[in-house]
Amino acid sequence: MTKHIKVAALLSALVIFTLVLGMTVSPVSSVEKPKPETIEATAQGTVVQSGTQFNITLIIERYSTPADRQILMQAFQQDKNQGLYKVLSKMKAVGHIAVTGGLGYDVSYIRLIPTSTGRTIRFITTRPISFREERNDSLSSDYNLTAGELELNDMDKSKSTGVLYPRAMLTVDKDNEIKFDLATEPFKLADIIDRGSKASSAFR
């Protein structure tokens, strides 16, 4: 009789343990990966490119971490634009940018900055260098980054603005200030539409 009681108690303990384990694990396994955030905008040429216009799509899988930012800052301090380019090219993509309908390319760094009216989104990534640029050893191949900034106004969507630097490099001016040196004039971003879910904000 005692043996049967011990076996029954052991089985009951195993059942309870299994249920507890299941209750503990199941919520973790049911957590879904945040859906990407998609932002669309119209890029409008300025100065000599005035009149040029095309649509772009920025897909944000997640936002970069403060640690990512520190790594980029250190890379720039050590080897300026080339150091930044090398580190960006090795980073895991956090998003994607493309002329709407085109293939585009991955984005290595996207930063989210909350503001009083919404948020600022800044991004920078390596720019694919065309075979023609490499073959001709073109000066434009030195401008090997693409960057941009979006000022999203959640209170009045019509006031959202932005800028795109298609071909850029980071330099230090005579006042020791970091700035973008551009191969072409910047493009103004207008008609900004934020579609879909918000990317994970755990990486702000």
Q: What is the pLDDT along the chain (204 residues), one digit of tens a residue?
A: 554 444 455 445 444 334 333 433 434 444 566 789 999 999 999 887 778 899 999 999 999 999 999 999 999 999 999 999 999 999 999 999 999 878 899 999 999 999 999 999 999 999 987 666 555 655 667 899 999 999 999 999 999 999 999 999 998 877 777 788 998 889 999 999 998 665 554 333
Predicted local confidence at residue 47, as pLDDT: 81
Closest by CA position to 193, among listed 136, 166, 133, 153? 153
Predicted local confidence at residue 15, as pLDDT: 43
| DSSP-assigned beta bridge partners for residue 196 | 37
- 54 near 43, Cβ under 8 Å? yes
Closest by CA position to 61, among listed 41, 38, 40, 28? 38
Cut 0.75: pTM above it: yes
Predicted local confidence at residue 176, as pLDDT: 75
Instruction: Spell 47-64 as b/e; 16+ CB within 10 A means b.
Output: eeeeeeeeebbbbbbbbb
